[in-house]
Amino acid sequence: MTEIFGTTENNETVSIYKLRNENTRLSFLNLGCIIQKWETKDGNGNFDDIVTGFENVADYEQKSQYFGCVVGRFANRIGGGKFCLNGKEYNLFINNGPNSLHGGQIGWSKKIWNVENFSENAITFTLISPHLDEGYPCEVKASVTYTLLENSLEIQYTAKNLSETDSTPINMTNHTYFNLGGHQNWTTLDKHTASLTSDKFLQVDANLIPTGEIISEPGMDLTVGKKLTPEVLSATNGNNGFDHCFVFKNENSSEIKQVAEITHENGRKLVVSTDAPGAQFYTGNFLRGQTGKEHVAYIRQSGFCVETQAFPDAPNKPSFPSCIIGPNAEYRHRTIFKF
């Protein structure tokens, strides 16, 4: 099912595309590949929308904090907004303190994507990113395929470097904020229990850029599962909730592995699996209380993200798993959200 959702301030048409089965109802926008609505059943079989979002384009343009979108060309932060590659220094748009975040001023999250395939259970979005788009080298063709299975959503990211001679960094992820209480019971995260399969995370400096050190701390250990109470969130590294890239064993980059499980007292459970080396676990510490769908206020620490990805600032950290895609080479990354 396809409908017109609205028009951007640049007079671009935004369409909405819907996938459905007996367990899940999903709506996507061609603006930033946004997951606009995600309805699942609780333990009593009741449907509710469990993700942040808006009912019109203007709100996405003015109030969104990357709600539901795909971010790129490089997800997360690049320190100082620059890196060296191909014998050159590339300067990016600075939009997060001294850093470049989630692709810059007009990253892939703010672009209108093309729809190449739309079937009963899947949709594929594509985008051509030109050479020096937001400062990044090489022309790239990016693709995102959402596939709705019986009780899960699989996301397949690909990006082909179209340059014959140069390389470029690529790091794609989806930035959906979840609250498994749903919009009928959208409160802080107290009723959620989170567990991660690793207690190791990237230490960061005052500007939230990785120092290169991989550490673990008692307040950050979710391997046994903890309720996301104010006490737990204030005992984290930095004392402001989770906003950290956790590190997962990745001996075989094509292997899908479970990285997170989050449950709610109402019976909903989300299991996240990926082939990415890391995942930014974020507890919505900077949500501003903006009013979204069903007149719900998305207050601080009322939504969480599991952003599967390469390590932040990887272009400047030779010790990190490489995110550099060579001439005519292809980036691939797969993540499964299972309920």
> Looking at the annotation, which residues are catalytic?
175, 307
Question: How many whole angstroms separate alpha carbon 96 and alpha carbon 203?
Answer: 18
Give Cα separations from 62 to 3, 7, 56, 66, 320 (angstroms). 22, 13, 10, 11, 35
Give Cα separations from 276 to 173, 265, 304 (angstroms). 10, 29, 19
The secondary structure of residue 181, as a DSSP letter, is T
| Residue with tokens 């010790």, as numbered in its chain | 319
The secondary structure of residue 95, as a DSSP letter, is -
Question: Can you tell me whether residue 67 is helix, strand or coil?
Answer: coil
Who contacts 326 (Cβ-Cβ below 8 Å, separation ≥6)?
161, 167
Question: How many whole angstroms separate alpha carbon 165 and alpha carbon 131?
Answer: 12
**Residues 19/33, Cβ–Cβ less than 8 Å:** no
Q: What count of Cα atoms within 13 Å lies in the side-chain half-sphere of residue 54? A: 18
At 137, list the tokens. Answer: 């080298």
At 283, list the tokens. Answer: 């507890």
Q: Tell me the helix, strand and coil percentages in the chain, rounded to 5.
A: 10, 45, 45
Question: Can you tell me whether residue 315 is helix, strand or coil?
Answer: helix
Residue 302 CB neighbours (<10 A):
21
The secondary structure of residue 36, as a DSSP letter, is E
**Residues 314/169, Cβ–Cβ less than 8 Å:** yes
At residue 235's C-alpha, the angle toward residues 232 and 236, to 5°, is: 100
At 13, list the tokens. Answer: 């048409």
